[in-house]
Amino acid sequence: MDTSQQLAAQAIGQVLGGRNLTQALENLWRLHPQLTPQQRAITQDLSYGVLRHYGQLQAVLEQLLERRLEDESVRCLLLAALYQLEHGKASEYAVVDHAVKAAVKMKKAWAKGLVNAVLRNFLRRREALLVAITDNEVARYSYPQWWIEKLKQDYPAEWTAILEAGNRHPPLTLRVNRRRVSGAEYLHKLEDLAIGAHPLGASAIMLDQPVPVEKLPGFLEGDVSVQDYGAQFAASLLDVHDGMRVLDACCAPGGKTGHVLETAAVAMTAVDSDEIRLARTRSNLDRLGLSAKLVKGDSGNPGTWWDGQPFDRILADVPCSASGIVRRHVDIKWLRREADLNSFTAQQAQILRGLWHTLANGGKLLYVTCSIFIEENQRQIDAFLAEQADARQLPLAGLRDGQLLPSADHDGFFYALLQKI
């Protein structure tokens, strides 16, 4: 356990220094190829757990320290151990003992006594320490204060539920490839393997407990894909039909690309600016037995790659703050800055303007974000409609203003369907 605490402390430190958690963990796996699957799993759980509850853990740690701890690696080790003591299942003695040993492994022998004293002090004073931070919103909800204030303003009746939903562990949801198997048939396959699950829609199935994808029947053959239920709305909202020319802009890693191709026999062009992520799209389509024209290009500047033939449908899944998917990407809460929204909205506006010229008259463009911030969503659409006389927004059945708020069933997404008139 001490190895996992030590490595988790390194990953947490990298995230708080500005690197995303996926990159931090991948870097650790490269540096420590000898790690067992169990050690990797514990390290990952600790890293995600600390960042999910960072506001609370940091506020508790500040009460336990007499002065600011300048050594960031020891601070992150203490955060990992505090997470285990408050939210984990390991014995308290083992957590403290392994944290002390981890300090030695980190060549921080001077910190042995400090680590031991801080953690034992927490165990003695746990209830009082937690009560003392109840009025601290950053500690209570584990989000930056600016994020909390934005949600209060945008969703005055729902902001606490949104924050709490983002701190839950995400479910594993599947999208059934209905070209190969029906939802009911796939549920029977899961039942035969004693994998508990329930349907969420015609193509969506949520597992009661996550399992490795290699244990899913037919996964390698393309029977199912892993995709959040909220993301699965895109294919039906795009309203595609056989024979259409369809563009998936900002397509990587290809989840929505594959879903559209499962829905109808269309001529698909999938564009992304990142060659590595475009390769992931190709891999996902290969597994599904589907094909598309894959293009490396900037969706905001179609002149560099577009052949001049207009598209009947465009899926514009634009870059955004990802504020709707923080339960899956817990580092986003602490990496994002409020000022980042300006660069995202500028990029989104450029992509909308660029793609609009490639859309056929009468064609439809589905604008998508995984954000819950209104300036990236309806406010962005309102600004586009104000400047684009040949655009109108179409209603979406079952979606309140196009906004899916995070819930137990799905992440947060925004959808807007625009038609060229």
Asked if residue 253 has a cis previous peptide bond (ω within 30° of 0), the answer is yes
Tokens of residue 127, six digits: 């209830």
Q: What is the pLDDT of residue 398?
A: 79
Residue 384 predicted with pLDDT over 90: yes
Biggest CA pair distance of the chain: 72
What pLDDT is attached to residue 211? 95
Asked if the structure places residue 167 within a domain, the reply is: no
In a domain, 165, yes or no: no
Residue 168 located in a structural domain: no
Q: Are strands 267-272 and 293-296 parallel, antiparallel or unpaired?
A: parallel
Classify the phi-psi angles of 237: left when phi > 0, otherwise alpha if psi is within -120 to 50, otherwise beta: alpha
pTM exceeds 0.85: yes
Q: Regarding beta strands 311-317 and 245-249, do their DSSP bridges make them parallel or antiparallel, or are they unpaired?
A: parallel
User: Where in 92-180 does DSSP place strands (E)?
Assistant: 173-176
160 inside domain: no
The answer, yes or no, to whether residue 66 has pLDDT greater than 90, is no
Residues 73 and 136 in one domain: yes
User: Does residue 76 carry a catalytic annotation?
Assistant: no
Kindly state whether residue 155 falls inside one of the protein's structural domains: no
**Please, are residues 206 and 409 in contact by the beta-carbon 8 Å criterion?**
yes
Identify the pLDDT of residue 249: 96
Q: Identify the pLDDT of residue 201.
A: 84
Judged against a pLDDT cut of 90, whether residue 30 lies above it is answered with: yes
How does residue 109 score in pLDDT terms, banded at 50, 70 and 90?
confident
Report helix, strand or coil for 194.
Answer: coil
Question: What is the predicted pLDDT for the residue at 358?
Answer: 98
For strand 245-249 and strand 267-272, is the pairing parallel, antiparallel, or unpaired? parallel
Q: Is the pLDDT of residue 108 over 90?
A: no
* Domains held by the chain: number: 3
What torsion, rounded to 10 degrees, do the Cα atoms 5, 9, 10, 11 define? 100
| Contacts of 157 by beta carbon, 8 Å cutoff, 6+ apart | none
pLDDT tens-digit readout, 70-95: 999 999 999 999 999 999 999 999 99
Could you tell me if 274 and 402 lie in one domain?
yes
Asked if residue 147 belongs to a domain, the reply is: no
Q: Which range among 60-64, 199-203, 255-259, 313-317 shows the weakest confidence by mean pLDDT?
A: 199-203
Which 3 state secondary structure label does DSSP give 191?
Answer: helix
- Position 262 scores a pLDDT of 97
Asked if residue 2 has pLDDT above 80, the reply is no
Q: Are residues 207 and 288 in the same domain?
A: no
Q: For the segment 365-380, what is each residue's pLDDT rounded down to a tens digit?
A: 999 999 999 999 999 9
Q: Is the domain of 208 the same as that of 293?
A: no
Average pLDDT, the chain: 96
User: Smallest Cα–Cα separation from 205: which of 233, 176, 185, 178?
Assistant: 176
CATH of the domain at 21: 1.10.940.10
Question: Minimal CA–CA distance to 302: which of 320, 291, 314?
Answer: 314
Which is catalytic among the residues 76, 251, 320, 370?
370
How far from 13 is each of 9, 73, 170, 333, CA to CA, in Å?
Answer: 6, 7, 23, 15
Domain range for 41: 2-142
End-to-end CA distance of the chain: 62
Q: Which pLDDT belongs to residue 408?
A: 95
What's the CA gap between 209 and 116, in Å, rounded? 35
Q: Average pLDDT, stretch 225-254?
A: 97
**What CATH code is carried by the domain that includes residue 220?**
3.30.70.1170
- Do 406 and 306 fall into the same domain? yes
